[in-house]
Amino acid sequence: MLASRTTALVTVAAVLAVGLTACSPAEGLDQEISELTSKIENRSLDGFDGPAEALAEYDVEVTASDPVLDGETAAVDLDLSWHVDDEVWEYQVPVDFARVEGQWTTDTTASDVAGDLDEGETIEITREYPERADIVGSGGEEIVTERPVSRFGLDKSWITLAEVEGSAFRIGEALGIDADEFAARAVAAGEEAFVEAIVLRPEASDRVDADYYAIPGARAVDDVMLLAPTRVFARDLLGTAGEATAELIEGSDGDIAPGDQVGFSGLQKAYDERLRGTPKTTIEAVAGEERRTLVEWEAAAGDPLETTLDVDLQKKADRVLAGTSGTASIVAIRPSTGEILAAADSAEHDVANAATAGQYAPGSTFKIVTALALLRSGMSPDDTVACKKTLTVDGFEFHNDPGYPSDMTGKITLREAIANSCNTAMIALRDKIDDEALADAAASLGLDAEADLGVPAFLGDVPTPESETERAAALIGQGKVLASPLAMATVAASVAEGATVTPHVVVGEEGEADSGEPAPAETETPSAPASPSATAAPSDPAPLSADEAAALRDMMRAAVTDGSASILSKIDPAVAAKTGTAEYGEPDSKGAYPSHAWLIATQGDLAVAVFVARGKGGAATAGPLMREMLG
């Protein structure tokens, strides 16, 4: 019970106690007042399942005034405060009590205290949201905004009932949807209904058969919808919005009503309240056609959500992936700010938010992390290492990629080992790197850190190895090491920036570089998941130094000029990169494992990761995509 009401009741009891005897006519009145206020606050008073039912789902606070006695009657003023969404409806209601055969009673119902309804009136609450706010990109460029669409379907008012099923079936076939399902919906709809079959953008109108409009009852209604520039534009990242489902309404505790437009996924869901704004809410007393406004609050428009997405770059990433099959992703980050400029997934991706939240073995792109750990052990890019054709660790034979150049075996420099991606050289140096050093190097490059984008995100996992073989595999991005395309783009961005980059996609929610001086850019800037394992990384990783970043950039540049990423060598402005191939799953009948294809690259103030879930190799499969992206 509220403090204000408790105080009032104490006052009531005190007043009644003064000058009264045990047989005073006021005896029991305070209890009756308390019971009434409790029933109102609990919405258990008669009428909350009837005329005042619309208010029953909202909280109310009730305070009773001191009673005014007049013989066998008493008058009490009730102050009610209803909490309707984010508004408060306050008013006062007089309530009469009568003493009958020594007992105080009241015939007050919810109709009396819920806006003082007249006979035959009921409470109705309506909410009208303003237009949902836009999602915009870098510089305020429109991304999700009202765009023209056509709603194709059957207008039953144009035909006889006998024609409905046949016309609906033909419409379904003409639009390429399940004709039987659409026909069943059309038959079940009201006699005058327009039964929507599909909504298409103007550019998709060519999928409609030319004879569509010859079908009796076939109709297309022009409309607008909040849509991104294209159907695939950052689809998982932006998410979707639409009319609230029954399930969402039921689980919203009254916050969502039928007809409300809500976000279902992605940024639309994460920032739903911001984008929806505040509705115009009206509480009315209704009797037939007569309506009486009891209280009304005006709407407040939602706030546009400004993202860091670069519209042109995102469209380019979508185009690059358009011809790929299976799961493939591209993520682009601006190293100097951590802004995510593009996060694209292929049309057929089988993991939601694969670009930002997919969990995959990063393969040899992870050698940038291993290289940093080796630099911190005292090595330099010019130090000699041994690159063998194979290397056995605890009975498991590691080998280089089948296409590894034979002239880069034997004694080579660390720079050459990274540039050409020698697995055995990295594994042979495992005694120089303990588990904590590897995890610390990963964290220094932004991998294996938490990401709060407002959408599902995963920045990697470098678990503590459970065997010597696992330790060896981790050095080449295999075993239990996991990363997302976002994570590996972050690694590349951190190398380019010379500081740990924290990616973000919503303007105003920027992360800050952990420490370290920004390193000079090499060139001008061109126009489902498993739970992470325990890691050995300290909570506060060592800062990435300018010298470390310069050495890593040097080795990544060598991969382009003299190594496995030579497919990017003719791109201007110049590029630094690292390829990666990661075996996964079960081998085929010939003992060959399927493999992920990776390529990460930097070009001035741009860092990009390209990932193809099933490919022939980083250079062969991801290389052409990266070349198209940066060229």
Given a cut of 70, whether residue 254 has pLDDT beyond it is: no
SS3 content of the chain, % helix, strand, coil (to 5): 30, 25, 40
Q: Which of 129-133, 148-152, 289-293, 549-553 has the lowest mean pLDDT?
A: 129-133
pLDDT in tens, 348-364: 888 889 999 999 999 99
Mean pLDDT of all residues in 35-53: 96
d(CA 465, CA 444): 19
Mean pLDDT of all residues in 609-627: 96
d(CA 59, CA 255): 12
Note whether 3-117 and 311-587+605-630 share their fold. Answer: no
Q: Can you give 128-191 as a three-state secondary structure string?
A: ECCCCCCEECHHHCEEEEEEEEEEEEEEHHHCCHHHHHHHHHHHHHHHCCCHHHHHHHHHHCCC
Question: Which superfamily, per CATH, for 311-587+605-630?
Answer: DD-peptidase/beta-lactamase superfamily (3.40.710.10)
d(CA 498, CA 521): 9
pTM: 0.82
For the sheet with 328-334, list strands across it.
Answer: 339-345, 328-334, 607-612, 595-602, 576-583
The pLDDT assigned to 26 comes to 81
Given a cut of 60, whether residue 12 has pLDDT beyond it is: no
Average pLDDT, the chain: 90
The pLDDT assigned to 25 comes to 65
Q: Categorize the per-residue pLDDT at 257 as very low, low, confident or very high, splitting at 50, 70 and 90.
A: confident
Question: Taking a C-beta distance cutoff of 8 angstroms, is the pair 387, 417 a contact?
Answer: yes
Q: What is the largest CA-CA distance in the chain?
A: 112
- CA of 360: how far to CAs of 272, 479, 492, in Å? 30, 11, 17
Q: Categorize the per-residue pLDDT at 207 as very low, low, confident or very high, splitting at 50, 70 and 90.
A: confident
Of residues 514 and 259, more confidently modeled: 259
Given a cut of 70, whether residue 406 has pLDDT beyond it is: yes
pLDDT in tens, 560-589: 999 999 999 999 999 999 999 999 888 887
Mean pLDDT of all residues in 406-427: 97
- CA of 56: how far to CAs of 90, 110, 339, in Å? 16, 10, 46
d(CA 158, CA 150): 18
Q: Categorize the per-residue pLDDT at 485 as very low, low, confident or very high, splitting at 50, 70 and 90.
A: very high
The pLDDT assigned to 1 comes to 37
The pLDDT assigned to 586 comes to 84
The pLDDT assigned to 402 comes to 87
Q: Which of 135-144, 224-233, 383-392, 524-533 has the lowest mean pLDDT?
A: 524-533
The pLDDT assigned to 627 comes to 98
d(CA 223, CA 206): 18
Q: Which of 264-273, 493-502, 524-533 has the lowest mean pLDDT?
A: 524-533
What is the distance between the terminal CA atoms of the chain, rounded to a whole angstrom?
69
List 305's β-bridge partners, or say none: 135
Q: What contacts 512, CB < 8 A, 6 or more positions away?
A: 502
- CA of 144: how far to CAs of 133, 140, 235, 307, 455, in Å? 9, 11, 11, 11, 16
DSSP letter, residue 139 = G
Full DSSP string of 157-168:
GGS-HHHHHHHH
Mean pLDDT of all residues in 66-79: 96
Q: What contacts 515, CB < 8 A, 6 or more positions away?
A: 499, 500, 543, 544
Domain edges within the chain: 3-117, 311-587+605-630
List 104's β-bridge partners, or say none: 99
The pLDDT assigned to 252 comes to 78
- 3-117 CATH fold: Nuclear Transport Factor 2; Chain: A, (3.10.450)
Given a cut of 60, whether residue 425 has pLDDT beyond it is: yes
**Secondary structure tally for the chain: helices H, strands E:** 19, 24
The pLDDT assigned to 589 comes to 77
Given a cut of 60, whether residue 22 has pLDDT beyond it is: no
Mean pLDDT of all residues in 490-515: 84
The pLDDT assigned to 539 comes to 61
